[in-house]
Chain A
């Protein structure tokens, strides 16, 4: 059974930092791209960042580019999202999601975690 367990959320002041983690199990972690998707309160889903299976390429939404860094440790089946210079508008539930598909344009997110809440407030 595929499982994705996020952690690391919490309350942080504007300008602060948080590191989110996602531990995967039930599949060969190193064989798949991984993603973060967030949902701000009362809003829809927003893609945040993606990393390819061996971490050779990373992609970011314009809203987080230059502030967030996505990485993975395939030996620990773990995905990380380092978030810095946090803004109030970064407040959201952050979901870790596994990718499926070949070419990037065919990717879908077939398994999701339950999410971790990051709140940016003074």
Chain B
């Protein structure tokens, strides 16, 4: 079981909006640790998508956005495209366990 809980899968049609949740606890997200999100396609290097809760690295489309509240965080993807089909991971810092990842969410574009 991961310290950060994500749904195993989400899906949406092209053009739609989807959200991926990430639920933590008082020792990580609730302790004011930042949330980061990564996109991972098979056989490739993971890619930083959102850092420090809601910031996009250069080159990441503004269709991707992040938010955080209390002990939870969310990644939203608008205008869904076929190329967005991938695994998505949240990541944070835990006061007991150091750096932790969520279990990952597989996004399927219908």
Contacts and interface: CB of A to CB of B under 8 A. Distances in A.
Interface of A: 35, 37, 44-47, 50, 59, 61-62, 95, 97, 100-101, 104-115
A44 B103 contact: yes
Interface residues of B, number: 28
B100 to A, nearest CB: 6
User: Which 7 A-B pairs rank lowest in CB-CB distance, beginning with the nearest?
Assistant: A44-B104, A108-B36, A112-B45, A108-B51, A47-B99, A105-B93, A105-B33
B91 interface: yes
Contact of A106 (B31, B34, B45, B46): B34
Contacts of B48: 108-111
Given A105-B93, A108-B91, A109-B91, A59 B44 contact: no
B89 A44 contact: yes
A47 B40 contact: no
B83 to A, nearest CB: 19
A37 B99 CA distance: 10
B99 A114 contact: no
Given A100-B51, A105-B93, A59 B98 contact: yes
A110 B51 contact: yes
Contacts of B102: 44
A111 B59 CA distance: 13
Contacts of A37: 46, 101
B57 A110 contact: yes
A50 B45 contact: no
Contacts of B33: 105-106
A108 B45 contact: no
A108 B104 contact: no
A45 B87 CA distance: 10
A59 B102 CA distance: 19
Contact of B52 (A108, A114, A115): A108
Contact of B34 (A44, A50, A108, A112): A108
